[in-house]
Structure 1
Amino acid sequence: MQDHPVGAVQDHPVEAAREALVSRGAHVMPAAVTTWCVGAEGGAWERFRTHWEALSTDRYASARGARRLRRYGQFSLAPATGRIGVLPRAPFVQPEDSNPLYVGVDRTFEPLTGSFVADPVFRAVLRLLGRVATALEEPAVWDAKVHPFRVVASADTKGLPTPEGRHRDGVTLVSSLLVGRQNAAGGESSVFGPDGRRLLAVTLDEPGTLLLGDDRRTLHSVSPVRPVDRSRPAYRDVLVVTLTPG
C-alpha cells in the first residue's frame, strides 16, 4: 500500500468525477480507478475489510427491524494539503430535510478503532474525496463524517442498507465505497434527481467501486440485500463518507 501525497493523485479520473458531479449530480468511479488513485495495490482492500469484523450493532436500526453493524467518527480535512484531524467524539445528528427516520435524533455509535483511523487506505480515500468535492464547494476545511457499515441478511431477514428509503443526508458530498460482499445478491444503489427521475443505478460489486453524489440536489437509496446461499448469512460492507464545509 502506497499512500500517495495529495498532488500525486491521478488528475484525469479525479477531473472526470468532478465534471460528472457538476453536470449530472452523481458518478461511479470503477474499482480499478479508485485503487490506482488511493494506491491500494495487492490485497489492500481485503486487509482494509478486516476492520468490518470489529463493528458494533446499530441499535437504532435494530429497533426498526434492520440488522446493521457500524461505527462512527468525525474528521477535519484540508483539501489543499490533505491534512486530516480527528474531531472530538459527538452524537451523529442529521439536519432537517434529510433522513426522515432520524431528523433531530441524537444517535450515539461506538467510535472508530485506532487501527481504522490510522489505516493508509482510509486516509487516502478521505483525501481523494476531499479533492473531488471541491468541484461542488471550496472550503478551507471539510467536515468529514465517516461510517463503516455492514448490512446483514439471512434466509428469513432481508438486509436493508437504507431502511428510510429514498433520502438525502443533508450534506454536500455523499459517497459509498464498496469494501466487500459475501454471499450477497441485490443491493442496487440508485441516485435520483429532485423531480424523481433516476439519474444512475449501479450494484457495487467489486471492492473499490466508489459511488459519489451531490447530496444538495439528489436523493439516494439502496435495494435490499439477500443471501445467494440461503443457509449462510449475506454481508455487504461499505464505507460511507459525507463532506460538508467545516
Structure 2
Amino acid sequence: MKLESAMSTVMDVRSAYIRTRWAFVDGAGMVPLLSSLGATDEDFERLKLVSDQLESDPTLPFRRSRNGRFCLDPKTRRGYRLEPQPFVLSREEDFVRHDSETLRRFVEVQDDLQHNTALQALLVFQFLVVNDVDIARRPRLDYDRAEWICTLFNLRTVTTPGLLGEPALEGVHSDGVDHTMTTFLGSRNMTGDSAATFLHDMAEVNGNRWNEADPALVRGRVQHRDFLDTLLLVDHEYKHSVSPVHQIDDAEPALRDMLIFFTRKPAEQGHVSFRYDSVAPHRTLPLSFDIPAAVPAIALVN
C-alpha cells in the first residue's frame, strides 16, 4: 500500500471514529497500513513473540506485563520515550478495582518492543486517528497542551485450571484517558468465545461484570481474534468490559497477548497522576522517531 492510499484508509477510520466514537480495524487491514507507515515484515514476526519476555504483574496473579511511556508531539512531529513513572487509576476516573488509587510500578518495556517498527507505526496510526478530534473532556487534563502522553502496556492474560484469567477483572470501567487503543498480538489454547469486548453507555454502573451489565446499555461488541485486530474508543464517552479467557485443553495454559495504548493530555495539578506525569526523556532507554510530515496536515482534518 502506498503512503497516499494508507492515509486515505486512515482518514476513513478517523471519519468512523468521529461519527461513532469508536472504530475497529481487522488485522488484515492493519498490516498494509502499518507497512506504509514504516513497519517491516521482520518486525511483524518479532511482535508476535515479544510477550514471551513479560514479567510478573504488580497486582494481578493471572497477568504478565510491562509498560512504557511515550510522548507524541504534533508541533515537533516527533515521538519519544518518556522516563518511567508509577501508574495509578482512580475511582473518580471510572476504574473500580481492589487496586484503584494504588501506585503500581511495572517492569519496563525494553528495546525489543520500543525499537520495533510495527510498534512505532501503531503509535503513529493512533495519533493520525485521534489528534484534534473533539471529545468529552476529562477533569484536570490540560487541553491547551499540544502533546499527547501515551502509556503503553504489553499484557499477557493467563488461565490455568486453578486461575481464571480476566482481561478486565474490574468489570465495566473506563481507563482514565482520552483515547484507548487495544491491539491483539496472539493467543494459545484459548477458546473462540473468550475475551469479547463490550462497549457500554456511560450510564452503566462501574464494576458490573460483563455478563451483569444492562443489555439496553450495550453500545457495541467486538472480539480480537487475529494478529493486529485493533479497537479504538473515546474513553470518556464509552465504558467497556471484557469477558474471561478460557482454555481449550485443560492440560495447557490459555494465553492472550495484547498491546494497550492509554493516550491523554498531560495532567494538571489536582489530578491523581499529576506527580507522576513527567515529560522528561528516558535516560537509559532513549527512543525518538519521526511522525511523518504528512501526518499533522491530514490528521487535523475533521
| TM-score normalised per structure 1 | 0.89
One-letter amino acid of the structure 2 residue matched with residue 132 of structure 1: V
Alignment partner, residue 159 of structure 1: 165
C-alpha distance in 1, partners of 2:74/2:258? 23
Runs (4+) of structure 1 exceeding 6 A deviation are none
Report SS of the residue matched to 1:195.
Answer: coil
1:228 CA drift (Å): 0.9
Report SS of the residue matched to 1:12.
Answer: helix
| Count, aligned residues | 238
2:43–2:116 CA contact under 8 A, matched in 1: no
The answer on 1:49 being equivalent to 2:77 is no
What residue ranges of structure 1 are gaps of 5+ in the alignment? Answer: none
1:13–1:33 CA contact under 8 A, matched in 2: no
1:26–1:191 CA contact under 8 A, matched in 2: no
1:17 CA drift (Å): 2.2
Report SS of the residue matched to 2:241.
Answer: strand
The answer on 1:58 being equivalent to 2:57 is yes
The answer on 1:229 being equivalent to 2:228 is no
Alignment partner, residue 191 of structure 1: 199
Query: Rg bigger for which structure?
Result: 2
Pick which of 19-28 and 160-169 moved more.
19-28
Residues 198 and 41 of structure 1: is their aligned pair in 2 closer, same or farther, counting only changes over 3 Å? farther
C-alpha distance in 2, partners of 1:20/1:100? 30
Report SS of the residue matched to 1:74.
Answer: strand
C-alpha distance in 1, partners of 2:11/2:76? 18
Alignment partner, residue 94 of structure 2: 98
Report SS of the residue matched to 2:128.
Answer: helix
C-alpha distance in 2, partners of 1:16/1:172? 20
One-letter amino acid of the structure 2 residue matched with residue 222 of structure 1: V
Residues 43 and 126 of structure 1: is their aligned pair in 2 closer, same or farther, counting only changes over 3 Å? same
Alignment partner, residue 155 of structure 2: 149
C-alpha distance in 2, partners of 1:215/1:84? 22
One-letter amino acid of the structure 2 residue matched with residue 90 of structure 1: Q
C-alpha distance in 2, partners of 1:69/1:156? 16
1:36 CA drift (Å): 1.4
Alignment partner, residue 184 of structure 2: 178
Per-residue CA distance 1:4-55 (angstroms, 9 max, x = gap): 9xx7571233222222222222111111111111115646433212210110
| TM-score normalised per structure 2 | 0.73
Residues 116 and 217 of structure 1: is their aligned pair in 2 closer, same or farther, counting only changes over 3 Å? same
Identity of aligned residues (%): 24
1:216 CA drift (Å): 1.1
Alignment partner, residue 72 of structure 2: 77
Alignment partner, residue 114 of structure 1: 111
C-alpha distance in 2, partners of 1:42/1:124? 13
Higher strand share: 1
Alignment partner, residue 231 of structure 2: 211
Q: What value does the CA root-mean-square deviation take over the aligned residues?
A: 2.2
